[in-house]
Structure 1
């Protein structure tokens, strides 16, 4: 049996509804009735990288990073394929650049989405420590 199973249905047009366990995800290739597949991939990447970043913090003895926010952006080529992804990571904890780089490197090794993407599409990551994150 597979480790992950999803079921995706499109009754017409370019929108689909995916069932992932108990969760439903609406995706629309045109972006009218939900995020596009590329938008979902970028959000999924950031959603995977954030907890990996926290684990990287724990591995370096920085258990309390406070709030973390990832602002992700991506570029599309002429065929609407992802050509670049960038993360700006804002970390509430005020850590030096060397520590943040170490945590980032560890997170890259932990994040499963990072490992699944072709190397040329790995996020270009900038981390900002001591950030005042609202929300």
Structure 2
């Protein structure tokens, strides 16, 4: 048996509904009834990176990071494939450059989406401590 199993159905057109455990996830290549697959991937990546950043912070003695927010952006190539991803990660806690570098490095090692992407597509992460 697989560790993860999903079922994705498209009744008509370009919209799909994926059953992921108990959840339905709507993805639409035309952005009409849900985000397109590239946008969903970028959002999933950010949603994986934030808890990885929290764990990385905890492992480095930074237990109270406060509010975290990623403003993600992505560039597409001429074929509408993802070519680059950037994260602006806003952190409520005040962190110095060394703390940021250590936590980002650890978060990159923890984030499963980061590990799954080819190296040239992994996010360029810019952290903004004391942001809130």
Indicate the TM-score class for this superposition, using the shorter chain for normalisation.
Answer: over 0.9
- Structure 1 unmatched runs, 5+: none
Cα shift at 1:33: 1.1
Q: Hey, what does 1:67 align to over in structure 2?
A: 67
Give the match for residue 126 of structure 1.
Answer: 126
Question: Normalized against structure 1, the TM-score is what?
Answer: 0.97
Q: Distance in 2 between matches of 1:95 and 1:86?
A: 20
Aligned to 1:112: 112
Q: Distance in 1 between matches of 2:92 and 2:47?
A: 17
Paired residue for 2:91?
A: 91
Residues 45-81 of structure 1, C-alpha deviations (whole Å, 9 max, x = no match) = 0000000000000010001100100110000011000
**Cα-Cα RMSD:** 0.5
TM-score, normalised to structure 2, is: 0.99
Q: Deviations over 1:72-123 (max 9, x none)?
A: 0000011000000000000000011110111000000000000000000000
Structure 2 residues without counterparts, runs of 5 or longer = none
Q: Which residue of 1 aligns with 2:19?
A: 19
**Within 2, Cα distance between the matches of 1:106 and 1:43?**
20
Between the aligned partners of 1:106 and 1:30, the Cα distance in structure 2 is 36
Residue 46 of structure 1 is matched in structure 2 by 46
TM-fit CA distance, 1:32:
1.0
